[in-house]
């Protein structure tokens, strides 16, 4: 190989959009997501399931003031990245009455206000309270055999950011707005333990919006007017995708190579465009910008550890202004899938931390085809062709250098 080859390659990698991670702040700035933001805070001590539920109801402003289901699968436990807490797995006993109040927490604000009386029927306790100086993180349990049907994981909806017409409209510049947050970014970290059994797949938190806070999941398709949802999914071996409940009627949409439409359920966007790994924190950033009604210019983008992983810029996410805004965090996670071939193979956990929302006003202002016009026929969404082209170019050059 030419002695220049490594230099050429590193120069290429430095300019390649594939290799370049971007900062959260640069995403927030470049998409006009500066109007409002919300941090989902963690307590400074571990909390059992009863106290953890109280915490998120209060501090995470859960809609309808209730967790949809899976309350007993939620705890705040030690960060799995600290050596002392890698042993945190399923607790020995499900009837322990000792509260997890003995943590070595630092002298930051007391969280005693969030602690309710723990009942002996709370089933999940962190196995360790040694925080090793790190704040606790949210741990969700997926019992062996659980899949969909509210049998494992959890689900709740939090929309802590509410637009107030006039001030929002002023921030929209020349993008069209109904005085709502038509654009929102969700950022969070996720950790799958080493040895995690992926099986066929499962749901992970994402965004949702629209006046119907209960549709657009569980097989209830969108009508384009009342809701949409864009959760994430892991698939076999940790393959990642965005799993969207959005209209599929746009001509040519389902025949795009990166789109998998299912007759009863959601639509898979760019399955396998990134992969979850085990034993480390991974950062997800998910952007949704609603399309202008009548134009196929809606945006769904995802960054994996800051690197662009999937980009769709010509989506129809809504067909009516009655779906006026992105609402917020759709924390929906479970194995499945609608039959037991999707079940969690063992009692296992996934850890989550640092949820943040950033919102801005204004629907997409990209030039887009007329909705329903069929202009998407055979066209892979914009960002894909760009990334794909850059990648193929890189491969070509690497292959070329190998021949030198
Ligand atoms: C969220 O936390 C970050 C620090 O991580 C801070 O800079 C920011 O001001 C916080 N935002 C809100 C709305 O509290
Ligand atoms: C926004 O509205 C939701 C209900 O839709 C409510 O739970 C939340 O507290 C509100 N947030 C603010 C900041 O007003
Ligand atoms: C929108 O505003 C930007 C500057 O903020 C300007 O460059 C652009 O031409 C405007 N577009 C339209 C269609 O008005
Ligand atoms: C799905 O729709 C049915 C019938 O409208 C309703 O009973 C059910 O609650 C909906 N499920 C969800 C998850 O929205
Ligand atoms: C779209 O909006 C951005 C700001 O969010 C602006 O920089 C850009 O010029 C706008 N494009 C058009 C075509 O108006």
Atom 4, ligand 2: which residue's CA is nearest?
Answer: 63
Q: Give the number of the atom of ligand 2 that is nearest the alpha carbon of residue 65.
A: 7
95 has pLDDT over 60: no
Q: Is residue 3 part of a domain?
A: no
**pLDDT of 30 higher than 90:** yes
pLDDT for 392: 36
- What angle do the packed helices 5-15 and 382-402 form, to 10 degrees? 170
Give the model's confidence band at 178: pLDDT under 50 very low, under 70 low, under 90 confident, else very high. Answer: confident
The ligand 5 atom at the shortest distance from the C-alpha of residue 366 is: 13
| pLDDT tier, 117 (very low <50, low <70, confident <90, very high otherwise) | very low
Q: Does ligand 1 come within 6 angstroms of the Cβ of 39?
A: yes
Which band of pLDDT confidence, cut at 50, 70 and 90, is reported for residue 389? Answer: very low
Query: Using an 8 Å Cβ cutoff, are 354 and 282 in contact?
Result: no
- Summarize pLDDT for 328-338 with one digit per residue, the tens: 999 999 999 99
pLDDT (mean) for 180-190: 96
Residues 378 and 255 sit within 8 Å (Cβ to Cβ): yes
- Can you point out the beta strands (E) in 50-130? 74-77
**Ligand 4 neighbours (beta carbon < 6 A):** 214-215, 217-218, 220
Q: Is the residue at 184 inside a domain?
A: yes
Tens digit of pLDDT for each residue in 270-298? 999 999 999 999 999 999 999 999 999 99
Domain for residue 13, yes or no? no
Q: How confident is the model at residue 325 (pLDDT cuts 50, 70, 90)?
A: very high
How far CA 82 is from CA of 15, 29, 99, 187, 239, in Å, comes to 35, 33, 21, 22, 26
159: confidence class by pLDDT, cuts 50, 70, 90 = very high
Q: Please give the residue that has the higher pLDDT: either 133 or 202.
A: 202
Q: Which two tokens stand for residue 142?
A: 């997926």
Burial (CB count <10 Å: 0-12, 13-18, 19+), residue 119: exposed
**Inside any domain, residue 91:** yes
Would you say residue 93 lies in a domain? yes
Nearest-CA residue for atom 5 of ligand 3: 173
**Residue 114's pLDDT is what?**
31
Query: Quick check: 13 pLDDT over 60?
Result: no
Closest ligand 4 atom number to CA of residue 212: 14
258 in a structural domain: yes
Q: Which of 143, 48, 43 is nearest to 97 (CA)?
A: 48
Residue 262 within any structural domain of the chain: yes
Regarding the beta carbon of 174 and ligand 3, being less than 6 Å apart is answered: yes
Residue 39 has pLDDT above 70, yes or no: yes
How far is Cα of residue 327 from the mean position of the Cα atoms in its chain?
14
Is the per-residue pLDDT at 356 higher than 90? yes
**Lowest-confidence pick of 44-58, 153-167, 221-235, 346-360:** 153-167
172: pLDDT strictly greater than 70? no
Ligand 3 in contact with 367 (CB < 6 A)?
A: no
pLDDT for position 240: 98
Supply angle C-alpha 337, 342, 348, rounded to 5.
115
Provide the number of structural domains found in the chain: 1
Number of alpha carbons in the 13 Å side-chain half-sphere of residue 27: 26
Q: Is 354 in the pocket of ligand 1 (CB under 6 A)?
A: no
167 pLDDT tier (thresholds 50, 70, 90): low
Mean pLDDT of the chain: 80
CB atoms within 10 A of CB 140: 23
Question: The CATH number of the domain where 320 resides is what?
Answer: 2.60.120.200
The stretch 25-29 carries a mean pLDDT of 97
Kindly indicate the confidence band of residue 131, based on its pLDDT and cuts at 50, 70 and 90: confident
The full DSSP string for 306-341 is TEEEEEEEEE---SSTTS--EEEEEEEEEE-SSSGG
Please state the pTM of the whole predicted model.
0.80
Work out the burial of residue 317: count CB atoms within 10 Å of its CB; fewer than 13 is exposed, 13-18 middle, 19 or more buried. buried
- pLDDT band at residue 87 under the 50/70/90 scheme: very low
The domain containing residue 87 runs over which residues? 23-382
Question: Which ligand has the minimum distance to the alpha carbon of residue 366?
Answer: 5
pLDDT at 2 over 60: no
Q: Predicted confidence band at 264 (pLDDT cuts at 50, 70, 90)?
A: confident
**Atom number of ligand 1 nearest to Cα 36:** 13
Report whether 364 contacts 299 (CB < 8 A).
yes
Residue 388 lies in a domain: no
Neighbours of 225 (CB within 10 A): 17
Q: For position 104, what pLDDT does the model report? A: 30
User: Which pLDDT score, from 0 to 100, does residue 116 have?
Assistant: 32
d(CA 332, CA 153): 8
For ligand 3, is residue 133 a contact (CB within 6 Å)? no
């Amino acid at each position: 190989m030419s002695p220049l080859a490594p230099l050429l390659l590193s120069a290429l990698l430095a300019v390649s959009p594939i290799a370049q991670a971007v900062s959260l702040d640069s995403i927030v700035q470049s998409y006009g997501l500066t109007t409002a933001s919300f941090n989902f805070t963690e307590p400074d001590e571990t909390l059992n399931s009863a106290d953890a539920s109280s915490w998120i109801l209060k501090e995470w402003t859960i809609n309808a003031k209730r967790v949809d289901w899976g309350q007993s699968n939620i705890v705040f436990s030690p960060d799995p990245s600290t050596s002392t807490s890698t042993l945190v797995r399923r607790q020995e006993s499900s009837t322990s009455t000792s509260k997890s109040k003995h943590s070595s927490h630092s002298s930051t604000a007391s969280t005693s206000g969030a602690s309710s009386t723990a009942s002996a029927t709370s089933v999940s306790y962190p196995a360790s309270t040694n925080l090793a100086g790190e704040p606790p993180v949210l741990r969700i349990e997926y019992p062996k055999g659980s899949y969909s049907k509210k049998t494992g994981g959890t689900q709740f909806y939090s929309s802590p950011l509410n637009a107030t017409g006039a001030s929002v409209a002023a921030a929209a510049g020349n993008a069209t707005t109904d005085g709502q947050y038509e654009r929102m970014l969700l950022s969070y970290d996720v950790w799958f333990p080493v040895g995690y059994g992926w099986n066929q797949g499962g749901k992970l938190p994402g965004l949702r919006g629209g006046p119907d806070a209960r549709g657009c999941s569980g097989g209830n398709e969108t009508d384009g007017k009342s809701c949409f949802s864009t959760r994430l999914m892991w698939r076999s071996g940790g393959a990642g995708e965005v799993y969207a409940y959005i209209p599929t009627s746009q001509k040519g949409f389902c025949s795009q190579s990166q789109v998998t439409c299912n007759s009863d359920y959601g639509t898979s966007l760019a399955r396998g465009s990134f992969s979850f790994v085990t034993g480390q924190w991974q950062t997800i950033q998910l952007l949704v910008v609603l399309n202008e009604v009548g134009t196929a210019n809606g945006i769904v983008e995802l960054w994996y550890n800051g690197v662009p992983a999937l980009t769709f810029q010509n989506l129809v996410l809504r067909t009516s202004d009655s779906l006026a805004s992105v609402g917020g965090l759709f924390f929906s996670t479970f194995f499945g899938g609608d039959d037991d071939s999707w079940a969690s193979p063992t009692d296992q956990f996934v850890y989550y931390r640092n949820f943040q929302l950033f919102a801005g006003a204004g629907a997409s202002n990209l030039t887009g085809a007329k909705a329903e016009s069929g202009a998407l026929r055979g066209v892979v969404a914009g960002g894909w062709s760009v990334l794909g082209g850059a990648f193929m170019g890189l491969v070509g050059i690497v292959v070329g250098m190998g021949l030198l």
